[in-house]
Structure 1
């Protein structure tokens, strides 16, 4: 009776100790390493490459997992934020992985949203990665006629912003908690600059490649690291308001390395401290991103010029008009004056 093919596997040469990949009918292929972990990684890459279609496949002939794998390997390494794609793929694979691409329909997309049980915005981002993967495979010649991914309706923009009183209560609740003083610093930076959470938590006092930095001599904030490409989440450089600059100079003089830190170490998460501060401050529920909304809203309420607001906070003019313009004192002013004017 003929033996069944064993499939791709590792074999270690006795003379050199180098691991080989053996695959029935294909000959041995060296991994070039004696390290088992590195050899296993090479085997994984070999299997992915071996099973990759050599020519354009129909939606019935390629699985969603194959399309996501191609997209992750070929496109993700060249974007500014590859981890965002990695998180999206890891969320998509459990549901879509073994399904053929032909199964991507409106019904299955809606079922994915129900199964995933996350916020509508999260589902849209993940399905957007699926659509991008299918388009990439079609563009690179792996796939014919990619289907359209059915997206849930885009949620309304959140308009939760803090009043000055709420912000003061939140800062005080964080500062008086010995375990959350770092959060008070985070809140101040976010309220004065409208910078996003991740960018603030990576920010240092010296130039670095992982994130931005503040220059307390020139009074400028650089929001992204050296060599980091700009993304849709705009991160322009910004001048620092004098009140915040005074805080930053004091923190730096006291030996701080990061703008937000605990005992000299960068803070990775503020989730627990934030929830505690919100509870202690006794204000309506809000997220760290609400601080960005608050900063932009306050700037508009005080009559800042739209062009300056866009440049300072890194917000598009479309978003400014759609979400924040009604807070500006000039909102509909000429229309009201026209209606009040005597004929």
Structure 2
């Protein structure tokens, strides 16, 4: 071990200390002749530079904002035409993020993808983007589907960088192959069992005092009924999970609006940009509309139709997973299966009624949803027997579930 004396001697030269980057420092007040000539203040120290912030005692948060602003301005990417061998991929992602985040439909998901891309591609240049590096990223990501979605953002970022005139060389992003379309959907019996399970389930608690200590007893709490309402809306309308979770009887920004007077479900959230997902308005079936009106009238649904303890839910994945487990169904079933199955079901009904679907007549050769997932054939559908005479046998709900939730 080298001693401190030997390190600082003429024979041995110490290694230079690594800079820690910009940081905040509290500079005490300065006096001269008993008078204060400079107030105590926060300053930013960056190497040999001292940058005043204008923030004094009690303005810690303001000083942190000044530091963040300084770092952002210092490390902002260069926006001029350069060779692809000199452009860092992280700079390309940064330009794309700054220019397009505000118009993204799901900004939090974009944040996650950009962070993953920057953590792997940071330090590499655009010249390093090729088939081999893209395949290496997919292996690091561990999921072809997830890697494909991430690399689509990388491709969009590179294309945006080129369109802005910041590079001229050609860069090609190689995407992993698309996964196989989903061929699994809820059958009629599975849908019935799932709704019944959610509706009937009671919370079980363990007694901790008294003679029954250690005994598990059922309570009057029904923790899965909001999942039952979620499934009913999904099965009747074929709507995606996010739109169901935000469905509200009130027209407010960020929410899907259910017009209880006209019976129309405006699935695209107010103020949100339309995407490739099918979120067009849908006419609500009479039985579902009756439920929605009753839930709103009785206060079961206050601000949203799917609520947990009076508050809206962002997702029902946890509750849906519990319902699948309690119903002893295939554990690979997810929230989306209800909407995929119902998308087919609603189109079967509309076709039987002679209505238009998505602006045109549906044909049995177009049995795929917006994600490319296959729909079952009419003969194997969980829908009612002959779609041509579905209206002749009782209410829709009774024909589908075998009983009414009225």
The equivalent of 1:78 in structure 2 is 103
Partner of residue 231 from structure 1, selected from 275, 282, 301? 275
Per-residue CA distance 1:19-52 (angstroms, 9 max, x = gap): 6656579884758898544543443343343332
Q: In the aligned structure 2, how far is the partner of 1:44 from the partner of 1:146?
A: 34
Greater shift, 9-18 or 212-221, is seen at 9-18
Are residues 91 and 24 of structure 1, via their aligned partners in 2, closer, same or farther at CA, if it must alter by over 3 Å? closer
Alignment of structure 1 residues 264-303 onto 2, 5 Å: 264-284=310-330, 285-302=332-349
Q: Please report how far the alpha carbon of residue 274 of structure 1 lies from its aligned counterpart in structure 2 after TM superposition.
A: 1.2
Q: In the aligned structure 1, how far is the partner of 2:228 from the partner of 2:149?
A: 31
The equivalent of 1:304 in structure 2 is 351
The equivalent of 1:56 in structure 2 is 81
Q: Please report how far the alpha carbon of residue 215 of structure 1 lies from its aligned counterpart in structure 2 after TM superposition.
A: 1.9
Q: Please report how far the alpha carbon of residue 126 of structure 1 lies from its aligned counterpart in structure 2 after TM superposition.
A: 0.8
If each structure's strand is expressed as a fraction of its own residues, which one has the higher value?
2
Q: How many matched pairs?
A: 323
Alignment of structure 1 residues 1-343 onto 2, 5 Å: 8-10=22-24, 28=51, 35-51=59-75, 52-118=77-143, 120-177=144-201, 178-255=222-299, 256-257=301-302, 258-284=304-330, 285-302=332-349, 304=351, 308-310=356-358, 319-320=368-369, 323=373, 327=377
Q: Please report how far the alpha carbon of residue 104 of structure 1 lies from its aligned counterpart in structure 2 after TM superposition.
A: 1.6
SS in 1 for 2:258: strand
Gaps of 5+ in 1: 330-343
Gaps of 5+ in 2: 1-15, 30-37, 202-221, 361-365, 380-406
Greater shift, 187-196 or 4-13, is seen at 4-13
Q: Please report how far the alpha carbon of residue 324 of structure 1 lies from its aligned counterpart in structure 2 after TM superposition.
A: 5.1
SS in 2 for 1:230: coil
Q: CA-atom RMSD, angstroms?
A: 3.3
User: 2:129, 2:171 within 8 Å by CA — same for their partners in 1?
Assistant: yes
Q: In the aligned structure 2, how far is the partner of 1:18 from the partner of 1:236?
A: 56
Are residues 140 and 198 of structure 1, via their aligned partners in 2, closer, same or farther at CA, if it must alter by over 3 Å? same
Q: In the aligned structure 1, how far is the partner of 2:170 from the partner of 2:61?
A: 36
Q: In the aligned structure 2, how far is the partner of 1:4 from the partner of 1:294?
A: 59
SS in 2 for 1:304: helix
Per-residue CA distance 1:86-127 (angstroms, 9 max, x = gap): 121122222222222222221121121111113x32221111
Q: TM-score, normalised by structure 1?
A: 0.81
Q: Please report how far the alpha carbon of residue 251 of structure 1 lies from its aligned counterpart in structure 2 after TM superposition.
A: 1.0
Q: In the aligned structure 2, how far is the partner of 1:76 from the partner of 1:138?
A: 18
Q: Please report how far the alpha carbon of residue 160 of structure 1 lies from its aligned counterpart in structure 2 after TM superposition.
A: 1.6
Q: In the aligned structure 2, how far is the partner of 1:53 from the partner of 1:85?
A: 22
The structure with the largest alpha-carbon Rg is: 2
The equivalent of 1:337 in structure 2 is none
Are residues 5 and 83 of structure 1, via their aligned partners in 2, closer, same or farther at CA, if it must alter by over 3 Å? closer
